Amino acid sequence: MKHWTLFGCGALGGVMAGLLAQAGHQVSLLRTFPPQQVPQEVKHPLLLSWWDLEGQHHEFNPDFLQTKDAANISLLLVTTKVYQVQVAMEPLIGQLPEATPILLLHNGMGTEAWVKRAFPANPLLIGITSNGALRLSAEEFRHTGSGETWFGAGNAAGNDWRGVVDVLAQALPHAAWSDEIRMKQWEKLVINAIINPLTALSGETNGSLLTRQEEVEALCHELMPLLQREGFNLPEEAWVSRVMAVAAATASNYSSMQQDLVAGRPTEIDYITGYILREAQPLGLHMPLHQQLYDAISHRSPIASGISNFSI
């Protein structure tokens, strides 16, 4: 049994917290909002509720931690949105014990470098997940889709924490260690960079891409030189097939970017397409189609407070 501190109790964090509590782990929820900014409805929740994949209802009582409790955190699982990572973690600088591993679990890429600078001694693990989760209210969550969760080392000290992923595997539908986590992040990034903006702009489900294969092909084609530089030797058709397979497997789902745009929330575009464009720029690689998607989504998304002032 471990004592997990979940940081970012939204859809994914709420379900992860529920799964860990159900497997017998101690779960605390950390908030680093200044007290005056903690949303009123989540100030004193006594009981969190969640529904598992079979529709079974569970309840659990987590402890609530604030920045002042950071010295007691022994394992930190960060499940905020990618653009919230820096702002949320800044108050922990100099407060979090150096031995505490940080597990980052979000879509998109680009937070790692800052976390390494801000917490240079802490073991860092980087993760991705394809589980589906919904936040029904501040205190209610639903596990909507089973998926795979992969973690790998973000720094040398992270390698010593492989065992913690075996612990996660006892609670989640699947969790495993990968020595090639960067490649796995890139695979997810490519899928997100195509499905998310296309469906967000059309307002349609992922399945709508099954009739838009030519656009998927053109977007994959633009990515090929960058993917080759990243060390992938998969042919272009294989990337197209992967994207189309995910669109088919999640045909009735609305992508998170589509849902964020509809709800008027900031999107993760800066860490998905934005990350790709920032990687491509110094290599002199031009990606006009991805740039168009980036511009169109950015134009329609509210600005996230945090580090989204990238120049592209």
Applying CB under 6 A, among 5, 28, 129, 206 the residue interacting with ligand NAP is 129
Beta carbons of 71 and 95 less than 8 angstroms apart? yes
Strands (E), the chain: 3-7, 26-30, 48-51, 57-60, 63-65, 76-78, 102-105, 124-129, 132-137, 140-145, 149-153, 176-177
Check binding of 32 to ligand NAP (CB under 6 A): yes
Q: Is the CB of 87 or the CB of 224 nearer to ligand NAP?
A: 87
Interacting residues with ligand NAP between 264 and 293 (CB under 6 A): 268
Closest to 77 measured CA to CA, from 146, 138, 129, 39: 129
Nearest-CB residue for ligand NAP: 10
- In terms of Cα–Cα distance, which of 168, 175, 184 is closest to 148? 175
- Between 88 and 287, name the residue whose CB sits nearer to ligand NAP: 88
Beta strands in 154-269 (DSSP E): 176-177
Q: State the minimum distance, in angstroms, from the CB of residue 256 to ligand NAP.
A: 5
Residue 43 catalytic?
A: no
Q: Which stretch binds ligand NAP (CB under 6 A): 45-53, 73-81, 176-184, 234-242?
A: 73-81
CA-based end-to-end distance of the chain = 45
CA distances (Å), origin 180, targets 46, 87, 177, 185: 40, 28, 9, 9
Q: Is 31 near ligand NAP (CB under 6 A)?
A: yes
Q: What gap in Å lies between CA 250 and CA 255, rounded to an integer?
A: 9
* Interface with ligand NAP in residues 214-253 (CB under 6 A): none
Binding status of residue 79 toward ligand NAP by CB under 6 A: yes
Q: How far is the CB of 13 from ligand NAP (least distance, A)?
A: 6
Residue 260 interacts with ligand NAP (CB under 6 A): yes or no: no
How many residues contact ligand NAP, by CB under 6 A?
Answer: 26
Record the tokens describing residue 74, joined without a space: 């022994």
Task: Indicate whether 10 belongs to the interface with ligand NAP (CB under 6 A).
Answer: yes
Spatial separation of the C-alpha atoms in residues 69 and 78, rounded to whole Å: 16
Q: Which residues are CB-neighbours of 146 under 8 A, at least 6 positions away?
A: 53, 131, 173, 174
Cβ proximity to ligand NAP: between 134 and 227 the closer is 134
Supply the minimum distance, in Å, between the C-beta of residue 172 and ligand NAP.
Answer: 12
Nearer to ligand NAP, 8 or 154 (CB): 8
Q: Tell me which residue of 77, 309, 243, 235 sits closest to 171, measured CA to CA.
A: 77
Least spacing, CB of residue 128 vs ligand NAP, in Å: 8
Provide the sign of the torsion angle of the four alpha carbons 305, 38, 125, 190, taken in this order: negative
Q: Does 33 bind ligand NAP (CB under 6 A)?
A: yes
Secondary structure (3-state) at 232: coil
Report, in Å, the least distance between residue 76 CB and ligand NAP: 12
Among 20, 50, 62, 80, binds ligand NAP (CB under 6 A): 80
Q: Cα angle vertex 86, ends 198, 49, to 5°?
A: 75
Can residue 155 be called a binding residue for ligand NAP (CB under 6 A)?
Answer: no
Catalytic residues: 188
| Residues binding ligand NAP (CB under 6 A) | 7-13, 31-33, 39, 79-82, 84, 88, 106-107, 129, 131-133, 135, 256, 268
